[in-house]
Structure 1
Amino acid sequence: MNNKGAAAHKTALVIGAGGVIGRNLIEYLELLPEWEIIGVSRRGGDSSGRTRYVSVDLLNEGDTREKLGKLSEVTHIFYAAYQDRPTWAELVAPNLAMLVNVVNAVEPNASNLQHISLMQGYKVYGAHLGPFKTPARETDAYHMPPEFNIDQQQFLERRQPGSSWTWSALRPSVVSGFALGNPMNLAMVIAVYASISKELGLPLRFPGKPGAYNSLLEMTDAALLAKATVWAATDERCANQAFNITNGDLFRWNELWPKIAASFGLEAAPPLQMSLEEVMADKEELWSSMVEKHGLANNAYKDVSSWRFGDFVFSWDYDFFADGSKARRFGFHEFVDTEAMFMDIFKELRQRKVIP
């Protein structure tokens, strides 16, 4: 890795700047004086301070080359973009194409490109398919494709030899943090579900599969992940390595759920399996009335609800955790208490008037 020490000037190109991962990464980079930041997303953003935004359609090779090809100052690419599709197989083409388009656009002109950071997840271990080996380790064998996370990493592995840059792959569990309009934000799912339950005078019921209430799980705090991402991108020991990044503790919903209910002033009733995507489909009018009644920020219902993702996470009636010791062995020692993480996010959502 070609970094010239911690104080050397760096320029981060954050791909997927509007999501919970990208947004928290930018917030962390803004605290570090040696970084200039360029945020990339389809929507763009309002530039301020050391961060400027570029609106790019990453699926359009020409648009990507035109907008990103002239950014010769980039030293680090942080790739956290994601395109959702209905099936696992359909995810591969767009998500691989976006990464390839970014690298093809930036690499030829960014003469001081030092590192490409790739955001992955436990899909690498087949966690989305059913019960998988736990704790999952970075050395575990790949599973039968299709899997875009693996294809993306193999693209970087093929491209890197002979290059001036190295790569790293970060593998968080379910990531939680503040972000609106994000299709994979579990804390927001729980917060809006609990708020609507309270509005309707209902107790808080765990909606997932019966076995999921008792499974052993872990989470990854978005701010913790941001620190780990920058660490892996700037510590030469991490060159061309993958790392599981987790809060460092484990939990079961059967213990945490009643505490979450209490934080909303609710009782926790026995679990009842139901599809949030189905039962919450008709709640937009109710949400609009809650926004007016409680003086909330005027966020569209679709921007505060990720019911499909909630159903996905709450369906895991098997243990879901990885071994995070490799990152510690390589020098990253941060940790977060998961219960405190949820409570802090709920507090921020109330302060920002997203929920009552």
Structure 2
Amino acid sequence: MDKVALVVGARGVIGTNLVEHLSSLPDWRVIGLSRRGGVDVPGRVRHVAVDLLDPDDTRAQLAGLSEVTHVFYVAYQDRPTWAELVAPNLAMLVNVVDAIEPVARGLRHVSLMQGYKVYGAHLGPFKTPAREDDPPHLPPEFNVDQQRFLEDRQQGKAWTWSALRPSVVGGVALGNPMNLAVGIAVYASMSKELGVPLRFPGKPGAYDALLELTDAGLLAKATVWAATAPAAANQAFNITNGDLFRWNELWPKLGAWFGLEVAPPLQLSLTDVMADKEPLWKEMQARHGLAATSFAEVSSWPFADFVFGWDYDFFADSSKARRVGFHEYVDTEQMFYDIFTDLRRRRIIQ
């Protein structure tokens, strides 16, 4: 066992799946960083609670991690505006690298998790398919600043970097603000409980737009590949499931999984209509013997509204990763079914 991963942001959708994947591999040990810490798995996974916005605490908590060989940075702090995202998200990455580089003498790689904000996808219609060498847009954009920091810091160093650019990530990690699949599952479960059909709640044009998603398990595999394949060093890669879909075809199938009829789309804000639904959630838990998850843990309504508001095509070209050597594929429809099945197994939904 000669590789030690430091997963920064180990409790989110991406981090949770990355920790699980790394710990399943025979030649890795894993150290997870997060604000809340976690439950250690002796000999495989160790969790460390740290405030990454505090450089002193970051240095103190990372001071003894001399064995780290690979840093996987997947942390994120949300803020109300795009400009406000820059300072905290850049600071956390800088604090981690400043703390780990002097102590981890065998450091080989720093992996950065990005997204389609690099292409301006969050601002409105953007060029599709987006490619890694597309020209940048006017700042602010913290993903770009983070990558520029790594590129500058890596000059003359023995370690390399990589940047992964997934679409919206599908996976199970409760308490995460960017979890579309869990939001759909809870929305569908409540629709069934209330005896109403499942309606697509987004903008009318969003129902017909061409989209793609990224499975969290596939993303974990791609992240480790990019961090260890010599041909992938010092590059960025779009990582997607490999297929495209439109909600107008997929949405009725998701409704059928829950045994629901699908009525015509009706634009509404899930953030608003779910504001009074916590009592209903508690009633459903009691009636159906569900796990005692708080409504806040399964609430990702602003993010769901954001995604369902994309009334423009939203996809990238992921062929670069395939050309360099990553060939995994996930069927997006099956990804949703697998996530729903996992939520049902955990008794999060009925």
TM over 0.5: yes
Q: 1:222 aligns with which of 211, 216, 219?
A: 216
Q: Counterpart in 2 of 1:302?
A: 296
Deviation at residue 69 of structure 1 after TM alignment? 2.3
How much has 1:290 moved relative to structure 2? 0.7
Pair 1:170 & 2:164 matched: yes
Task: Give the structure 2 partner of residue 92 of structure 1.
Answer: 86
Secondary structure in structure 2 of the residue aligned to 1:269: coil
1:193 aligns with 2:155: no
Query: Offset at 1:178?
Result: 1.1
Distance 1:299 1:164 in 2: 45
Aligned partner of 1:231 in structure 2 is 225
Q: How far 1:110 moved relative to its partner? A: 0.4
- Any idea what the Cα deviations from partners look like across 1:143-182, whole Å, max 9, x if unmatched? 1000000000000011001111100000000001111001
**Partner SS for 2:24:** coil
Distance between the aligned counterparts of 2:172 and 2:309, measured in 1?
23
User: Aligned AA for 1:46?
Assistant: V
Equivalent in the alignment of 2:137: 143
RMSD: 0.6
Instruction: Show structure 2 runs of 5+ residues with no match.
Output: none
Match of 2:37 in 1: 44
In structure 1, C-alpha distance between the alignment counterparts of 2:81 and 2:290, rounded to whole Å: 35
Q: List, as ranges, runs of 4+ consecutive aligned residues in structure 1 with deviation greater than 6 Å.
A: none
Over residues 35-73 of structure 1, what are the superposed CA-to-partner deviations in whole Å (9 max), with x where a residue is unaligned? Answer: 010000000001013000000000011000000122110
- Deviation string 1:177-236 (CA, Å, 9 cap, x unpaired) is 111001001100100000011111010000000000000000000000000000000001
Q: Whole-Å Cα distance in 2 between the matches of residues 238 and 245 of structure 1? A: 13
Residue from 49, 52, 65 that aligns with 1:55: 49
What residue number does 2:260 align with? 266
Give 2:148's aligned residue: 154
Report sequence identity in percent.
73
> Quick one: distance in 1 between partners of 2:22 and 2:337?
24
Query: Matches of residues 206-355 of structure 1 in structure 2 within 5 Å?
Result: 206-355=200-349
Counterpart of 1:135, as a letter, is P
In structure 2, the residue matched to 1:179 is 173
How many Å separate the matches in 2 of 1:247 and 1:63?
A: 37
Pick one of 51, 58, 66 that aligns with 1:64: 58
- Which of 197, 202, 215 is the equivalent residue of 1:203? 197
TM-score (normalizing by structure 2): 0.99
Instruction: Give deviations 1:72-94, integer Å, cap 9, x for gaps.
Output: 10000000000000110100000
Distance in 2, matches of 1:332 and 1:235, equals 10
TM-score normalized by the length of structure 1 = 0.97
- Report the 3-state secondary structure (helix = DSSP H, G, I; strand = E; otherwise coil) of the residue aligned with 2:148: helix
- Structure 1 residue 9, shift from structure 2 partner: 0.7
